[in-house]
Protein backbone atom coordinates (compact mmCIF):
# COMPACT_ATOMS: atom_id res chain seq x y z
CA UNK A 1 0.00 0.00 0.00
CA UNK A 2 2.83 2.38 0.81
CA UNK A 3 4.13 2.11 -2.77
CA UNK A 4 0.75 3.21 -4.08
CA UNK A 5 0.69 6.25 -1.84
CA UNK A 6 4.32 7.32 -1.92
CA UNK A 7 3.88 9.97 -4.62
CA UNK A 8 0.73 11.47 -3.16
CA UNK A 9 1.86 11.28 0.46
CA UNK A 10 3.91 14.45 0.28
CA UNK A 11 0.95 16.47 -1.00
CA UNK A 12 -1.49 15.52 1.76
CA UNK A 13 -1.02 16.28 5.44
CA UNK A 14 -4.09 14.58 6.91
CA UNK A 15 -4.99 10.98 6.03
CA UNK A 16 -7.38 10.54 8.96
CA UNK A 17 -10.46 10.12 6.75
CA UNK A 18 -9.22 7.07 4.79
CA UNK A 19 -7.40 5.74 7.86
CA UNK A 20 -10.67 5.83 9.80
CA UNK A 21 -12.34 3.94 6.95
CA UNK A 22 -9.46 1.42 6.90
CA UNK A 23 -9.95 0.88 10.63
CA UNK A 24 -13.62 0.12 10.04
CA UNK A 25 -12.75 -2.45 7.37
CA UNK A 26 -10.28 -4.17 9.68
CA UNK A 27 -12.61 -4.12 12.69
CA UNK A 28 -15.36 -5.63 10.50
CA UNK A 29 -12.97 -8.49 9.72
CA UNK A 30 -12.24 -8.96 13.42
CA UNK A 31 -15.99 -9.22 14.05
CA UNK A 32 -16.41 -11.63 11.13
CA UNK A 33 -13.62 -13.75 12.55
CA UNK A 34 -15.42 -14.00 15.89
CA UNK A 35 -18.76 -14.81 14.24
CA UNK A 36 -17.17 -17.54 12.12
CA UNK A 37 -14.81 -18.72 14.88
CA UNK A 38 -11.71 -17.97 12.83
CA UNK A 39 -13.22 -18.41 9.39
CA UNK A 40 -10.90 -15.78 7.91
CA UNK A 41 -7.87 -17.80 9.01
CA UNK A 42 -9.14 -21.28 8.21
CA UNK A 43 -11.02 -21.79 11.49
CA UNK A 44 -9.84 -21.78 15.07
CA UNK A 45 -8.74 -25.01 16.66
CA UNK A 46 -11.56 -26.50 18.77
CA UNK A 47 -11.46 -26.16 22.53
CA UNK A 48 -9.71 -28.90 24.46
CA UNK A 49 -12.23 -31.42 25.86
CA UNK A 50 -11.43 -30.40 29.45
CA UNK A 51 -12.00 -26.73 28.59
CA UNK A 52 -15.35 -27.49 26.95
CA UNK A 53 -16.47 -29.53 29.97
CA UNK A 54 -15.40 -26.78 32.38
CA UNK A 55 -17.24 -24.14 30.37
CA UNK A 56 -20.40 -26.24 30.24
CA UNK A 57 -20.29 -26.81 34.00
CA UNK A 58 -19.85 -23.08 34.58
CA UNK A 59 -22.90 -22.34 32.42
CA UNK A 60 -21.05 -20.86 29.44
CA UNK A 61 -21.93 -23.54 26.90
CA UNK A 62 -19.72 -26.36 25.79
CA UNK A 63 -17.50 -25.96 22.77
CA UNK A 64 -18.91 -22.80 21.24
CA UNK A 65 -18.43 -19.94 20.84
CA UNK A 66 -14.66 -20.15 21.00
CA UNK A 67 -12.89 -17.17 22.64
CA UNK A 68 -16.23 -15.73 23.71
CA UNK A 69 -16.88 -17.05 27.19
CA UNK A 70 -17.67 -13.57 28.56
CA UNK A 71 -17.47 -11.49 25.37
CA UNK A 72 -14.79 -9.18 26.77
CA UNK A 73 -12.17 -10.20 24.20
CA UNK A 74 -14.58 -9.67 21.32
CA UNK A 75 -15.47 -6.20 22.65
CA UNK A 76 -11.87 -5.25 23.39
CA UNK A 77 -10.87 -4.05 19.90
CA UNK A 78 -10.77 -0.36 19.07
CA UNK A 79 -9.05 1.94 16.57
CA UNK A 80 -6.56 4.71 17.32
CA UNK A 81 -6.43 7.07 14.32
CA UNK A 82 -4.26 10.13 13.78
CA UNK A 83 -3.47 12.19 10.69
CA UNK A 84 -0.90 9.72 9.39
CA UNK A 85 -1.42 6.47 11.25
CA UNK A 86 -4.11 4.01 12.28
CA UNK A 87 -3.62 1.30 14.87
CA UNK A 88 -6.09 -1.38 15.87
CA UNK A 89 -5.66 -2.23 19.54
CA UNK A 90 -7.15 -4.61 22.04
CA UNK A 91 -7.77 -3.90 25.71
CA UNK A 92 -7.45 -7.63 26.40
CA UNK A 93 -4.32 -8.76 28.23
CA UNK A 94 -4.40 -12.14 26.45
CA UNK A 95 -5.11 -11.01 22.89
CA UNK A 96 -1.40 -10.86 22.03
CA UNK A 97 -0.89 -14.46 23.12
CA UNK A 98 -3.64 -15.79 20.86
CA UNK A 99 -2.44 -13.62 17.96
CA UNK A 100 1.25 -14.45 18.35
CA UNK A 101 3.13 -16.72 15.95
CA UNK A 102 5.46 -17.92 18.72
CA UNK A 103 5.59 -21.66 19.41
CA UNK A 104 3.18 -22.84 22.07
CA UNK A 105 2.41 -25.94 24.10
CA UNK A 106 -0.92 -25.26 25.81
CA UNK A 107 -3.20 -22.75 24.16
CA UNK A 108 -3.37 -22.90 20.34
CA UNK A 109 -2.98 -19.86 18.12
CA UNK A 110 -6.35 -18.31 17.34
CA UNK A 111 -5.69 -15.19 15.29
CA UNK A 112 -8.45 -12.60 15.41
CA UNK A 113 -6.80 -9.64 13.73
CA UNK A 114 -5.95 -10.40 10.10
CA UNK A 115 -5.60 -8.36 6.95
CA UNK A 116 -7.45 -10.17 4.19
CA UNK A 117 -6.85 -9.54 0.51
CA UNK A 118 -10.39 -8.15 0.19
CA UNK A 119 -9.73 -5.70 3.01
CA UNK A 120 -6.42 -4.64 1.48
CA UNK A 121 -8.23 -3.90 -1.79
CA UNK A 122 -10.94 -1.95 0.04
CA UNK A 123 -8.33 0.10 1.86
CA UNK A 124 -6.43 0.90 -1.33
CA UNK A 125 -9.71 1.86 -3.02
CA UNK A 126 -10.61 4.10 -0.08
CA UNK A 127 -7.23 5.86 -0.27
CA UNK A 128 -7.48 6.22 -4.04
CA UNK A 129 -10.91 7.78 -3.74
CA UNK A 130 -9.70 10.12 -1.00
CA UNK A 131 -6.70 11.23 -3.07
CA UNK A 132 -8.81 11.87 -6.18
CA UNK A 133 -10.61 14.64 -4.33
CA UNK A 134 -7.43 16.29 -3.04
Q: What residue spans define the domains of the chain?
A: 2-132
CB atoms near residue 27 (< 10 Å) = 15
pLDDT in tens, 62-74: 777 899 888 999 9
pTM given for the model:
0.85
pLDDT band at 126 (very low <50, low <70, confident <90, very high): very high
In the predicted model, is pLDDT for residue 7 greater than 70? no
Check if the beta carbon of residue 86 is closer than 8 Å to that of residue 97: no
Best CA proximity match to 128, nearest among 13, 21, 34: 21
Amino acid sequence: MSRVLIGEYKKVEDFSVPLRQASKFILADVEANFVSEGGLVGGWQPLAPATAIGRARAGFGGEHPILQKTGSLRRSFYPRVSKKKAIIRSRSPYFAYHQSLKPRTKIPRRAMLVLTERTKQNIVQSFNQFLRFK
